């Protein structure tokens, strides 16, 4: 008895169609994946800074001595910050008497840890003002890390009672894409807020939505995340 067998396979036309569909999906998906990765890097770097702020506050209370985070936007090394106690009270964390707990001062280099594109900076010139003046906007200015009037280095001080010495902000961005996050301390009680700019390099003028009463708070082209 002869048994009829059916041959299965794909035709050349079917193969060409599948390859074309894959190519079209790649054109759409690859750029979006790149944006997703870039946004994740900046948010991770900003979240880590926020958590390191909280950790330094905890260490100040636990050890009953002031802790600092000092910022280096342009050198020593650029786009980095240090965490620890100031052993000789000279407002820096680069001396042998400085430390963190029972060890050395901790150094976080943004570009080493999160990639060369991650820096202190911002893709926009304006940011949300302090909460009591919402929905006003304020110019960010030349420095994208500012706490009080501190300089050389710019720093935040965490006191033994859980308060901070200064209010201020730090902006972090992805240089190639302009994706920007802001970490801000608005009150000396130490409460920390996290914001994301609604724009990027491809959208440098996002719609201004002033919504200051309902979560998430949005104004001046920024959205509050926490």
Return the number of other C-beta atoms located less than 10 Å from residue 108's C-beta.
17
Query: Can you give the pLDDT at residue 143?
Result: 82
Residue 180 reports pLDDT greater than 60 = yes
Residue 4 lies in a domain: no
Residue 219 lies in a domain: yes
User: CB neighbours of 161 closer than 8 A, spacing ≥ 6?
Assistant: 61
Residue 118 reports pLDDT greater than 70 = yes
State mean pLDDT over 7-25.
Answer: 70
Residue 61 lies in a domain: yes
Residue 5 lies in a domain: no
CATH number of the domain where residue 92 is located: 3.55.40.10
Residue 6 lies in a domain: no
Give the confidence band of 128 by pLDDT, cuts at 50, 70, 90.
confident
> What residue numbers bound the domain in which 180 lies?
12-224
Residue 2 lies in a domain: no
Low-confidence winner among 29-38, 138-147, 216-225 (lowest mean pLDDT): 29-38
What is the number of domains present in the chain? 1
Residue 158 lies in a domain: yes
Residue 94 lies in a domain: yes
Q: What is the DSSP string of 20-68?
A: HHHHHHHHHHHHHHHHHHHHHHHHHHHHHHHHHHHHHHHHHHHHTS-EE
User: CB neighbours of 160 closer than 8 A, spacing ≥ 6?
Assistant: 60, 61, 64, 65, 66
For the stretch 57-69, pLDDT in tens is 999 999 999 999 9
């Amino acid at each position: 008895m002869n048994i009829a067998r059916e041959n299965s396979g794909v035709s050349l036309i079917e193969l060409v169609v599948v390859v074309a569909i894959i190519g079209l999906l790649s054109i759409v998906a690859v750029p979006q994946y790149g944006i997703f990765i870039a946004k994740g890097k900046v948010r991770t770097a900003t979240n880590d800074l926020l958590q390191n702020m909280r950790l330094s506050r905890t260490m100040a209370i636990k050890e009953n001595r002031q802790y600092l985070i000092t910022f280096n936007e342009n050198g020593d090394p650029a786009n980095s910050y240090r965490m620890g106690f100031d052993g000789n009270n000279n407002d820096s964390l680069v001396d042998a008497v400085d430390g963190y707990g029972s060890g050395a001062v901790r150094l976080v280099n943004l570009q080493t840890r999160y990639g060369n594109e991650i820096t202190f900076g911002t893709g926009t010139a304006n940011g949300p003002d302090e909460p009591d003046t919402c929905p006003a906007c304020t110019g960010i200015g030349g420095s994208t890390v500012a706490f009080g009037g501190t300089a050389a280095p710019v720093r935040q001080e965490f006191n033994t009672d859980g308060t901070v010495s200064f209010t201020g902000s730090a902006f972090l961005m992805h240089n190639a894409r302009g994706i920007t996050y802001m970490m801000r301390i608005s009150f000396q009680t130490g409460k920390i807020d996290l914001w994301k700019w609604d724009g990027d390099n491809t959208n440098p003028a996002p719609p201004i939505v002033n919504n200051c009463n309902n979560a998430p708070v949005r104004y001046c082209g920024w959205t509050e995340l926490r």
